[in-house]
Structure 1
Amino acid sequence: MKTLLLIRHAKSSWNDPDTDDFDRPLNKRGKQNAPEMAERLMNKGVVPELIISSPAKRTRTTAKLMADIWKYPKQAIILEEELYLCYASTFLKVITKIDDDFNTIAIYAHNPGITDFANYLTEEIRIDNVPTAGVFAIQADTETWSDFDRAKKTFLFFDYPRKD
């Protein structure tokens, strides 16, 4: 079994309109929500063995804040250029390259691609929007990441900071 956590970056700052989109930092709420969501995942017994992130500042920072909670080494976070503002199909290209030794992975990315990909993965539920710091989790009945797309999938949970 392979478990995929799709995680949208936490809330970013729009304080400086001259800041390039790629370089936007997290705002105060984003810096609080990321560790809170990491704690929630730990409480569910779900901690990734591999973290892959878009290289944009807000996604990198979200991944690092969550990695701190999990005691995951920040230098081991893989920055994947293709994940910056990507389409849903790009996620599969990234996933199929993952080493099969990893059973639970987290991919940090952006909307609308992350919401589109979450909806592609299951017919059980439909999500209008993965909110900032939101986590969509799914399990695939496969031993290899290269077979992830064809494998039978089971929706695990969808969580986000302001969820009841």
Structure 2
Amino acid sequence: MKRLAVLRHAKSDWGDAQIDDHNRPLNERGWKAARCMGRELKQRGIKFDLVLASTAARVRETLDGLREKYDFGSAPIQFEPLMYTAGEAELLSLVRDLPESVHAPLLVGHNPGLEQLVKNLTRDDGRGLRGRIAHKYPTAAFALVELPAHRWADVESGSGELVELILPKDLD
């Protein structure tokens, strides 16, 4: 069994049209959501042994906000340029290429790729978690997917179960 965590960056600031998309920072709501998510991950005891993240400023700041309330411990944070524009196929390829020494990875990036990845990896569950993100995977949303694979290379679409879903609106 493999466990994959997926976090969309927190809400970004669209106030300055001069800033290119890659360098767009978080707004105040985004900083608050990132801190709340960090506190919630800590309370739930969720741990990671690798963080694979987009290079965008809003992703880096989301991680900074998380770190204010959550300790990543010895989990390395690797910034992957491909994740900035990655669609579902590229993200699935990154997952399948994870080293077998990684047991609890966290992907931090952008929509629509992350939303498509979570939906395509999972099947409907009895608790209705997948249904809650069927039409929108909001900013700062966190999903934990259990995948019935022994190796990352064997992860298949539609095989996983969404076992944790944390949405910022549920934390207010």
TM-score > 0.5 by shorter chain:
yes
Q: Secondary structure at the match of 1:69?
A: coil
Alignment of 1:37-76 (within 5 A): 37-72=37-72, 76=76
Which sections of structure 2, spanning at least 5 residues, go unmatched? 125-129
Q: Secondary structure at the match of 1:157?
A: strand
Residue identity matched to 1:119? K
Residue matched to 1:130: 137
C-alpha RMSD of the superposition: 2.1
**Structure 1: how far apart are the matches of 2:68 and 2:91?**
24
Moved more, 58-67 or 19-28: 58-67
Structure 1 residue 141, shift from structure 2 partner: 2.3
Q: How many residues align?
A: 164
Which sections of structure 1, spanning at least 5 residues, go unmatched? none
TM-score, reference length from structure 2: 0.86
The answer to whether the 8 Å contact 2:121/2:159 transfers is no
1:57-90 Cα distance to aligned partner (Å, 9 max, x none): 1012212332453322699311111111321111
Matched, 1:78 2:78: yes
Residue matched to 1:156: 163
The answer to whether the 8 Å contact 1:100/1:143 transfers is no
Structure 1 residue runs of 4+, over 3 Å off?
Answer: 67-70
* Residues 49, 70 of structure 1: alpha-carbon distance in 2 compared, 3 angstrom cutoff: farther
**Structure 1: how far apart are the matches of 2:135 and 2:36?**
23
The answer to whether the 8 Å contact 1:51/1:63 transfers is no
**Structure 2: how far apart are the matches of 1:118 and 1:50?**
18
